[in-house]
């Protein structure tokens, strides 16, 4: 290895790392992070490898790494090799006959400059300054993750938000003992502060900076699938997309299909992929898509090859500045135009792994039987008819690679969906994720609360899988 770039004090967000890899044409990058999981000496810790395009390593690469790891018989440690990560600069090390250059770089400046190339910072600064009668107030929760230094520079120094607009801004190795997952459950401090009605916009970012939650006045919650759809419908207001016309959109399979309706209206292709940002990589590299999103609070564009929390917040502020409307009204007007894709995600965290696997095995056998098609589920008047049941598989349109076993789907004749997945990003037990989706096109009904619309479908999904029987859980750990 001839050259290694390291963030000052070991700080580097996942989006910033993706940008540095691409800017410096690096072979790849290694990120040490707990991501959106609890961190610290007794909690989660992960190693992420990004390839030369700046994106997460695809399955073929990680599988190859695993195979090589099984053949390793030894490794060597260089004794007394020290590098000062607290000071910018270059240090050279010679090990045997190889000279390696380590450059400690400011982790913030390159990323800030990239954001300035993408967004109109003058317009955003004008938005935040507001007027004498009412400034536009924002509040950002960095959840003691890596985004604090970035958010302080961008939102306070560059865009003029008052001091204190960023909180939990100091990166801590254990995230202050919190769970740095930006959702209504774990970012409750932000939700509480916005609920009082003193702020116009709020955002929370996860531990490594690639996930985001967006809130409007009085903590109006923007469901990730709606966030993706509204941004897709308004990308043309962002300077970057005026220079780089939108090519396509992509969403992960469990993500509600709101963006599909935008794509159909704009005559722009929409791709449905398995869960995992790495599946967007080939689509981005082949210029098939410009905007991607996941229901797990991930949004990003082709400016890098990772999802990007701060980018998403700046994109939303750009839409608000362009439309000159409060966030909640923008969402409601979008629903009235395109219809509303109602969605819920239930997370049953740290359940018994064997019970969860047995549940999924038995459920797959049930929903893939030919006679399951046409089954009526639920009670009158809320009866759903099964269109099909399967285990989602994906054929990549760029290289024709096939990915299987990506989630159990029960699709209804009216377009409603129930999806079950097992997640393995945590370190203890298993997490069952249950997704519900329904659609309402009547503009006069789009304000009906989602728990009313999806109540019957929720009961069907829980009973169909026998979740309580297999897990012992009466209710999910997290609802988003």
Q: What DSSP element (H or E) covers 458?
A: helix 455-465
Statement to judge: residues 294 and 216 lie in one domain: yes
pLDDT value of position 45: 86
Provide the edge-to-edge strand list for the sheet that holds 138-141.
Answer: 166-167, 138-141, 201-205, 212-216, 220-221
Of the three residues 335, 357, 383, the one that is the final residue of a domain is: 335
Q: Could you read off the pLDDT of 29-43 as tens digits, one per residue? A: 999 998 998 888 888
- Which of 241-250, 389-398, 424-433 has the lowest average pLDDT? 424-433
- Under the banding of pLDDT at 50, 70 and 90, the label for residue 1 is confident
Q: Is 70 exceeded by the pLDDT of residue 441?
A: yes
If one compares 28 and 130, the residue with the highest pLDDT of the two is 28
Does 392 sit behind a cis peptide bond, omega within 30 degrees of 0 on the bond before it? no
Averaged over 441-451, what is the pLDDT?
A: 95
Q: Is 35 labeled as catalytic in the residue annotation?
A: yes
- 346 plus 468 within the same structural domain: yes
Structure tokens at 435: 């997704």
Lowest-pLDDT range of 99-103, 233-237, 426-430: 426-430
Whether residue 301 sits in one domain with residue 191: yes
Range 378-395 average pLDDT:
96
Residues 29 and 145 grouped into a single domain: no
The average confidence (pLDDT) of the chain is: 95
- The tokens 């000496």 sit on which residue? 41
Number of domains in the chain: 3
Boundary of a domain, candidates 86, 108, 130 = 108
Count of positions (residues) in the chain: 480
pLDDT 10s digits, 310-331: 999 999 999 999 999 999 999 9
Confidence of residue 95 (pLDDT cuts 50, 70, 90): confident
Q: Does the pLDDT at position 426 exceed 80?
A: no
Residue 132 has pLDDT above 80, yes or no: no
Q: Are 205 and 182 in contact (CB under 8 A)?
A: yes
User: Is residue 478 within 8 Å of residue 426, measured between CB atoms?
Assistant: no
Split at pLDDT 50, 70, 90, the class of 480 is confident
Residues 64 and 169 in one domain: no
The enclosing domain of 123 has a CATH number of 3.40.120.10
Q: Are residues 138 and 285 in the same domain?
A: yes
> Who's near 413: CB < 8 A, 6+ residues apart?
384, 385, 386, 387
Same domain membership, residue 249 and residue 153: yes
Same domain as 217, residue 141: yes
Same domain, 126 and 192: yes
Element of type H or E holding 48: strand 46-50
Closest CA to 211 of 118, 277, 134, 120: 277
Q: How large is the average pLDDT for residues 377-399?
A: 95
In terms of domains, do 216 and 143 share one?
A: yes
Band the pLDDT of 424: cuts 50, 70, 90: low
Task: Give the CA count within 13 Å in the CB-facing half-sphere of 450.
Answer: 18
Predicted confidence at residue 102, as pLDDT, reads 95
178-209, pLDDT tens digit by residue? 999 999 999 999 999 999 999 999 999 999 99
For residues 101 and 160, state if they share a domain: no
- Confidence label for 428 from pLDDT (cuts 50, 70 and 90): low
Whether residues 7 and 89 share a domain: the answer is yes
- What one-character-per-residue DSSP string does 66-100 give? HHHHTT-------TT----TTS-EEEEEEETTEEE
pLDDT at 123: 97
Backbone phi, psi, residue 269, to 5° = -65, 145
Three-class SS state of 307: coil
pLDDT at position 329 is 98
Q: Domain end: 64, 81, 108, which one?
A: 108
- The domain that holds 403 is classified in CATH as 3.30.310.50
Catalytic residue among 13, 35, 225, 227: 35
Tokens of 389: 């049941």
- pLDDT, residue 430, reads 92
Q: Provide the pLDDT confidence category of residue 255 given band limits of 50, 70 and 90.
A: very high
The pLDDT, as a whole number, for residue 427 is 53
Domain hosting 17: range is 3-108
């Amino acid at each position: 290895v001839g050259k290694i770039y390291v963030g000052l004090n070991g700080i580097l967000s996942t989006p910033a790392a993706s940008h540095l890899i691409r800017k410096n044409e690096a072979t790849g990058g290694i990120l040490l992070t707990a991501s959106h999981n609890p961190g610290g000496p007794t909690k989660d810790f992960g190693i992420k490898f990004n390839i030369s395009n700046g994106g997460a390593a695809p399955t073929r690469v990680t599988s190859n790494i695993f195979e090589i790891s099984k053949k390793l018989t030894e490794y060597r440690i260089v004794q007394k090799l020290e590098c000062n990560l607290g000071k910018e600069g270059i240090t050279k090390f010679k090990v045997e006959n190889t000279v390696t250059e380590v450059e400690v770089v400011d982790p913030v400046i390159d990323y800030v400059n990239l954001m300035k190339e993408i967004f109109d910072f003058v317009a955003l600064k004008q938005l935040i300054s507001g007027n004498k009668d009412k400034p536009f107030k924002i509040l950002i929760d960095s959840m003691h993750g890596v985004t604090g230094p970035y958010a302080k520079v961008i939102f306070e120094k560059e865009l003029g938000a008052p001091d204190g607009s960023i909180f939990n801004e100091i990166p801590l190795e254990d995230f202050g003992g919190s769970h740095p997952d930006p959702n209504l459950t774990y970012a409750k401090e932000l939700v509480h502060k916005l609920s009082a009605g003193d702020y116009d916009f709020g955002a929370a970012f996860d531990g490594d900076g690639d996930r985001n939650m967006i809130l409007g006045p009085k903590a109006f919650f923007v469901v990730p699938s709606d966030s993706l759809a509204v941004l897709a419908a308004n990308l043309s207001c962002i300077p970057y997309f005026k220079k780089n016309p939108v090519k396509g959109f992509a969403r992960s399979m469990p993500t509600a299909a709101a963006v599909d309706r935008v794509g159909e209206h704009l005559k722009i292709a929409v791709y449905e992929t398995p869960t995992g940002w790495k599946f967007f990589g080939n689509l981005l590299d082949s210029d098939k898509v410009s905007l991607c999103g996941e229901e797990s609070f991930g949004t990003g564009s082709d400016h890098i090859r990772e999802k990007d929390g701060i980018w998403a917040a700046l994109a939303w502020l750009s839409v608000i500045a362009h439309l000159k409307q409060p966030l909640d009204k923008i969402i409601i007007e979008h629903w009235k135009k395109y219809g509303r894709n109602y969605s819920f995600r239930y997370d049953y965290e740290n359940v018994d792994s064997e019970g969860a696997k047995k549940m999924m095995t038995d459920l797959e056998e049930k929903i893939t039987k030919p006679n399951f098609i046409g089954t009526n589920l639920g009670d009158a008047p809320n009866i759903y008819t099964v269109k099909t049941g399967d285990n989602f598989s994906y054929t990549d349109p760029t290289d024709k690679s096939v990915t299987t076993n990506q989630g159990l789907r029960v699709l209804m004749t009216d377009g409603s969906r129930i999806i079950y997945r097992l997640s393995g990003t945590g370190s203890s037990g298993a997490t069952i994720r249950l997704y519900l989706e329904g659609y309402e096109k009547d503009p006069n009904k789009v304000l009906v609360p989602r728990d009313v619309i999806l109540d019957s479908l929720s009961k069907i999904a829980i009973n169909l899988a026998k979740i309580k029987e297999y897990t012992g859980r009466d209710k999910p750990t997290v609802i988003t």
